[in-house]
Chains A and B, each alone.
Chain A
Amino acid sequence: MNSFPIYLDYSATTPVDPRVADKMIPYLTHSYGNPASRSHCFGWDAEQAVQLAREQVAALVNADPKEIVWTSGATESNNLAIKGAAHFNQGKGRHLVTLKTEHKAVLDSMRELERQGFAVTYLDVERNGLLDPDCFKEALRPDTILASVMLVNNETGVIQDIAALGALCRKRGVLLHVDAAQATGKVDIDLARLAVDLMSFSAHKTYGPKGIGALYVRRKPRVRLQAQMHGGGHERGLRSGTLATHQIVGMGEAFAIAHAEMGAENERIRMLRDRLHASLSELEEVFVNGDLERRVAHNLNLSFNHVEGESLLMAIKEIAVSSGSACTSASLEPSYVLRALGLSDELAHSSIRFTLGRFTTLAQVDFAAALIKQKIGKLRALSPLWDMYKEGIDPGTLQWAAH
């Protein structure tokens, strides 16, 4: 039995796992102390809970708990890493490198640094969404202080070769920041082996609560940042503000569950994703956006040619997904990530991102596939571009008046 709508937008956010919620609640009502209170057991209990969570987060990525700094989420982590490292190291150089397909939290932090006089190189990716390491190597300059590359892309789910990029950066004395918001619980991360200096995490993409995240800051060799939030000197002065104990406990538990279950969970999700893909591939003119092999198991980003994304979303309101179509955003521009992969505007407008997760079932996937196939048929029967395609005319070769 399916209950509706079916949620297939796990890369937007995930539900809090009930096991996580259970752990959080006592820290709202009972163990409500301030972890910074050193003079009584309320504070000591909270401090102990925060310490356990720090160990749980560190364990998932094989880091030292002392390397974990709590933040409000991956956006804040990205801001602190990029601006904090740039400000601290500006005596060494004022150049940074990133990708055009990064999250807005990275791109807008870079834009802010440009306003402050830093120079930023925004690298193109290949047609499959992956970065060519040679292209990255050429972009590093003597005055480059930091590179920021995401591990898993939020739209396409492709996995960048962080190990290779880290080795290049280490050799050139460039700090490497990695946004891993979409990666935790989906790919193995071993910070003892990866030459990564800073890594951003979010709880709510991994079945934890919204409003909490963390930044990994390497200790050996030591990475130094300039704080962006000033106050009581919490988190070794890197991020002031009273720690949100219940949120932190939730993130710790969520990451501990991910650590214990990710192997089996990813196999199950991959099977469901492949089933969805196989079923939708029975339609004509369906294209996968981004590399299908070097991609997390959860993501399927497809373009249904000659059908506009928002009209498809309206037709499949029984399932919750997102689209790269301009019509679903306020900007009227199609997805900049898909455009960076070299997709035509038309194919970007026709894209749908399906992201599966822990609570996705076989029945849900089968329902979604059948519904989409039916509605694509209906919308293509409405589409003049589909008629042209069927008559052997490529709409892309015609002269169209922009409007």
Chain B
Amino acid sequence: MAYSEKLLDHYENPRNVGTFDKGDASVATGMVGAPACGDVMKLQIKVGKDGVIEDARFKTYGCGSAIASSSLATEWVKGRTLEQALEIDNAAIALELALPPVKIHCSILAEDAIKAAVADYRRKHPGSAQDNPAGELPGAN
């Protein structure tokens, strides 16, 4: 399969690989996928007091496209508020990496990982909905 240069670059030089301390209150984790399906993504965000994502880390078990999609997601969430992070959708990831059609699910997984991490943060910080005027907390239940 022929992959784009951007995808290969993210695969060969993945950004922000690693793990934050789970005990840190400013850290939230999203883990999505399943080993049986061939991909599992773990995305962690570190959120500042102003509600802006200061840093991100990932680890991914999966094909090259899954690794590249999660690497790109960590780059894109940095500097965004939680609400802005939720605006990242799979189509933008797929477009940026020029994912072939059979690999679109990798970009969906990356979007899901961002949503899961944000939901985890909101679960841990119930009062942090100031960036969400409607007060609706996706996934917070």
Q: Which residues of A contact B (CB under 8 A)?
A: 306-308, 310-311, 314, 325-327, 330, 332, 334, 344-346, 349, 381-387, 395-396, 400-403
Contact = CB atoms under 8 A, between A and B. Distances in A.
A345 B63 contact: no
Contact of A327 (B17, B35, B63, B108): B63
A349 B40 CA distance: 12
6 contacts: A310-B64, A311-B64, A344-B36, A345-B37, A382-B17, A402-B36
A83 to B, nearest CB: 33
A345 B34 CA distance: 10
B88 to A, nearest CB: 18
A334 B39 CA distance: 13
Contacts of A306: 61
A351 to B, nearest CB: 11
A386 B60 CA distance: 10
On chain B, which size bracket covers the interface? Answer: 20 to 34
Q: Which label, helix, strand, loop or mixed, suits the secondary structure of the A interface?
A: helix
Given A306-B61, A310-B63, A403-B105, A382 B14 contact: yes
Given A382-B14, A382-B17, A384-B42, A402 B64 contact: no
A396 B61 CA distance: 14
B59 A383 contact: yes
> What 6 A-B pairs come out closest when comparing CB atoms?
A400-B34, A345-B36, A310-B63, A346-B35, A384-B42, A327-B63
A362 B87 CA distance: 53
B94 interface: no
B36 A383 contact: no
Contacts of B34: 400-403
Contact of A325 (B36, B38, B42): B38
Contacts of A311: 11, 62-64, 66-67
B102 A349 contact: no
Interface in B1-20: 3, 11, 14, 17, 19
Nearest to B43: A384
Q: Which of B17, B38, B109 has the most CB of A within 10 A?
A: B38
Contacts of B62: 308, 311
Contact of B59 (A326, A327, A346, A384): A384
B32 interface: yes
A402 B61 contact: no
Interface in B92-126: 102, 105, 108-109, 112
A332 to B, nearest CB: 7
Contact of A346 (B36, B66, B112): B36
B37 A382 contact: no
B79 interface: no
Contacts of A314: 3, 11, 63-64
B31 A384 contact: yes
A334 B35 CA distance: 12
B51 interface: no
A308 B61 contact: yes
A400 B36 CA distance: 9
Contacts of B102: 330, 332
B37 A383 contact: no
A248 to B, nearest CB: 36
Contacts of A384: 31, 40-42, 59-61
A384 B112 CA distance: 16
A349 to B, nearest CB: 4
Contacts of B112: 403
Contacts of B60: 382-384
Nearest to A386: B61
Contacts of B40: 384-385, 395, 400
A200 to B, nearest CB: 31
A385 B35 contact: yes
